[in-house]
Amino acid sequence: MSDRSSLSPLERFLCLFTDVRAGEGGTALAMFANVFLILCSYYLMKPLREGWIAVSPVAGLDAWLVKALMTFGQILILVPVIAWYSRMVDRLPRVRVVTLATLFCMSNMVVFWVIQPDYFIANLPWSGIAFYVWVGMFSVFVVAQFWAFAADVFSDAEGRRLMPMIAIGATAGAASGAKITEFLVKGGFAELLAGLGLEPLAALARQTLQTEALLLIACLPLGVSLLLTRHVDAGRSRAAESQPSAARDTSGGLNMVLSSRFLLAVAGVTVLLNWVNTNGENLLFRVVQEMLAGEAAAAGVTGEVELLEFTKNGTTAFYGNFFSWVNAVALVLQALVASRLLKYGGFAPLLLLLPVVALTSYASMAFLPLLAVVKGMKIAENATDYSINNTARHVLWLPVDSDVKLKGKPTIDALFARIGDGMAAVTALVGAQLLALATETYFAFNVFLILIWLAFSVRIVREHKRLSEARAESAGE
């Protein structure tokens, strides 16, 4: 514990969330703001992705099936993309890699802004599909590389103290991006200007700050985040100039993962986590639709148009409430629990908490597949995932070598996460189309997957402890 008398006012404030030492406040706040801006930008694009794919039909396929199949499209494209990214990591300093990848993504955002459906030009065939796949790969170039950069910037000891506080920025940025999107799309900014008597500006806002503008608006926080990255790197690089350089691992990201027991275990957990969670999201949606169908029948809503309107409004209202609870609980867990759990319990309970919560949740849902139970358990699972487990996923990279962080983490967070989503798509297609499984059976299948997930997690805890001890011994020599 640091001597609080030597802390700045900023550092004393940050101590409310984690243990901050003298001189760390500026870097910690810059990294907090950095990830806040990145996630804010990301969540300005995600709703646009859903709307664009909905008006990008493929003959003979429903929109939800097109979305499921695009998961496999992402996997096929990610393999060469990750190979290219790994070569950049081998050849360039880390800040150049981050800069080029971020600028490349920003240029793509401008291109997609131009070709949006019925904006400057008519709807180009497959443009919505291309955008859907691209947003899925955004995590390789920007989101995952931020966390790899953060794990490389901080030492193991620093990261264990500061990562939980920085992760609050990710949770808050995601929530803020979603709220800003809703505010802009519904014309909230224009209404605000009109309420202030600024009708000319309000009219301009109605014309420019709608759905079509989201991609350009998302470039702004992303550009500022890049400046923060370069600022942090400049300061930390000067501090590390006297440290000896380790030999570089020139393996590609995928080969690196497949040749390491630790990384294979992390990849396995990533696949299973996303498989289980996406199964759960699909099942929650199914239970909500079953509930609404029953309510519509009880209310005598039978007309096609009226039934569609009833279902749309009911689904929107349910998920609005659901996401509000998830974000609220996740923010509390991230701000008040994550850092304390890591400090007093260590890495093991941080990593194992989510599969334990998920196991309890899906076992409960299998016995009582009622909407209230499913909703409550999914809130617990998602909130724990977005807070405690989000911290664990980034802390686990602290004791590994720099090249492994910068190549292995983006590979796992992107490619293997998409594989998990793809397995969930297969589960939905086979279960619904071929086997006609009951909802309870899906929940029981998730319990089976979670038991395997727990076994992989225990292996990660053991390997992480070994790597941490080896890094501590190396630092002490």
User: What is the tens place of the pLDDT at every residue in 57-114?
Assistant: 666 665 555 666 676 777 777 778 777 877 887 788 888 888 998 999 899 988 888 8
Q: DSSP assignment, residue 246?
A: P
Instruction: Provide the token pair at 257.
Output: 């993962």
CA distances from 127 to 12, 59, 321, 392, 449 (A): 50, 15, 32, 36, 35
Please check whether the domain covering 249-477 is classified as CATH 1.20.1250.20: yes
Residue 454: pLDDT band (50, 70, 90) is very high
Rounded Cα distance between 42 and 437, Å, is: 35
- Residue 281 φ then ψ, to 5°: -65, -45
Q: Write the single-letter amino acid at 99.
A: T
**pLDDT for position 459:** 93
Task: Determine the average pLDDT of the residues in 390-413.
Answer: 81
Given this chain, do its domains 22-239 and 249-477 carry the same CATH topology? Answer: yes
**Which listed CATH number (1.10.3470, 1.20.1250, 1.10.287, 3.40.50) goes with 22-239?**
1.20.1250
Rounded Cα distance between 260 and 256, Å, is: 7
| Per-residue pLDDT tens digits for 244-296 | 444 455 556 678 888 888 899 999 999 999 999 888 887 777 777 778 788 88
- pTM here is 0.73
Q: Name the nearest CA neighbour of 350 among 179, 264, 476, 465.
A: 465
Please check whether residue 89 is in contact with residue 403, taking contact to mean a CB–CB distance below 8 angstroms: yes
Count of Cβ atoms closer than 10 Å to residue 302 Cβ: 9
Task: Determine the average pLDDT of the residues in 139-153.
Answer: 80
- Within 8 A by CB and 6+ apart from 76, the residues are none
Please check whether residue 193 is in contact with residue 206, taking contact to mean a CB–CB distance below 8 angstroms: no
| Angle between helix 156-185 and 188-195 (nearest 10) | 70
Residue 192: pLDDT band (50, 70, 90) is low
Across the chain, which distance is largest between two alpha carbons, in Å?
A: 77
| Per-residue pLDDT tens digits for 37-73 | 998 898 888 767 766 665 566 666 655 556 666 767 7
**pLDDT for position 120:** 64
Map out the domains of the chain as residue ranges: 22-239, 249-477
